[in-house]
Amino acid sequence: MAYQIVDDDIQKPLARLLAAVVVSLAALCMSPCLVLAQQSGPQEAAAYPVATAIGDALNRDARVGAAQAEAEGARYTINQAKAGRYPTIRSVTDLSGNPISGDSTQVLGIAVEQPLLDWGKTRAEVQAARRLAEAQASMVDATRLDIAEEVSEAYLTLVRELDLLNILNRQLADLVEQVGGLQAQVNAGVATRVDLRKVETEISLTRSEIARAEFQVIRAQQQLQRLTGTKQTNGVTQVQIEAFYLAFRAETLEEAQTRAQINHPDIIAFSRRLAGKQAEVKAAQRGRFPGINLRGQLAGGWRNGSFGDESGISLTLSAPLYQGNRLFAGQRRVEEELKALQQEYIFELERLVENVTFGWNNIASLERSVGQLQQQVRQNQSRVADVEEERRAGLATTSDVIDAKKAWFRSQQLVVEETGRLNEARMLSLLNMGTVQ
């Protein structure tokens, strides 16, 4: 703005003189600015990004290890299902006798049974076990997402409380400055002691608010430190939140909905459980078909005192004829479970898309609200300048200035609070899209 004024009035000698003074002052201020820039370097290096905080929490949270152990245990069910493809080795032992007739049998050996045809039952069981193991592995990502939500909430809370505390500290510094000038005005008879008492009351109230705000900051710091396991909280800023959101946000609503349906771990787990249940239905259906097994036996022994060879190879065909309706009831149970899971999957998918859509619209609304509140801050700042000018002209009192500045600081607090709600909406949108880091 200063450069524009100089350009407009450069023909005037007074403007030329003013320009020269401005350039000289800028040259004098250049070296302190460089020093401040050098001092700010380590502070920027000590920044604590949101992604780093989430990563620290994921690396130390025991819930991730527990979920990984459960996922690893679920993988062994695949090996159990695969066992149906391999031959089974059994011992052959027949030690019997009849004391009345005098018959006796002593036969020992081994037998090997190899399934030849089970109509895809074992294959379906392996597929079901694999899909369920994959669903359990997706729950590891769901656990990570829950932890990321807790960390982001603590991070956003700390940023909001720090900004509110900063506003209160600036308000207190301004009031203390007002007291110094007002005391001189009271001594000179320009202001009254009522104005002085009003400022002192505002100082007392502001210090009380600062005490509460400091407690909230300490509480938020402890929460973030507990989750991340680090003592670093100085680099937690609004800039880091903005950077994290801009790095992972969706450009359009359609992109956000698609990413949510593809990447959200709960939806992935549902889809894999659904595929596993479909394989279970197939296995239950194939279990009612006859199976063909090849059996080889190497055995020998005595029957009624005569030694004989019991070895041989046989091909068997077996089919369950009647088991008290157990197989049919088991098949129907799995089919009904599949129907229920399909309905639940549709419901969860629709709810996720609805949440993403609502979050997208909420972000747009909050962004407009923050912009309007920022405009109000600028208006209140202009109002403060006007009232101070009126006070110097004798048209306003110090009390009017205090009220104007109080409204200005209050509008800044409203911006911080609304920005906090905007940060929460943005972070929830990223979490709905399955974003962890």
Spatial CA neighbour of 421 closest among 373, 379, 381, 362: 362
Q: Across 85-194, where does the E strand assignment appear?
A: 88-97, 104-117
What is the per-residue pLDDT across 296-346, written as a single tens digit (0 to 9) for each?
888 888 887 788 887 888 888 877 776 667 777 888 888 898 999 999 999
Instruction: Quickly tell me which residue has 């898309």 as its tokens.
Output: 353
Q: Is the pLDDT score of 193 beyond 90?
A: no
Query: Rounded to 5 degrees, what are φ and ψ at 101?
Result: -85, -20
Task: Return mean pLDDT, the chain.
Answer: 84
What is the per-residue pLDDT across 221-280, written as a single tens digit (0 to 9) for each?
999 999 999 888 888 999 999 999 999 999 999 999 999 999 999 999 999 999 999 998
Q: Which amino acid is at 251?
A: E
Q: Is the pLDDT score of 24 beyond 60?
A: no
- The CATH architecture of the domain made up of 48-86+119-289+323-432 is Up-down Bundle (1.20)
Q: Across 202-330, where does the E strand assignment appear?
A: 291-303, 306-309, 312-318
pLDDT reported for residue 305: 74
Helix, strand and coil content of the chain, in percent to the nearest 5, comes to 75, 10, 15
Bigger pLDDT: 39 or 392? 392
Q: Are 48 and 234 in contact (CB under 8 A)?
A: yes
pLDDT reported for residue 5: 34
Where do the domains of the chain lie?
Answer: 48-86+119-289+323-432
Q: Are 241 and 155 in contact (CB under 8 A)?
A: yes
What is the per-residue pLDDT across 75-118, written as a single tens digit (0 to 9) for each?
888 888 888 888 889 888 888 877 777 678 888 889 898 888 88
What is the per-residue pLDDT across 113-169, written as a single tens digit (0 to 9) for each?
888 888 888 889 899 999 999 999 999 999 999 999 999 999 999 999 999 999 999
Q: Is the pLDDT score of 12 beyond 50?
A: no
pLDDT reported for residue 397: 78
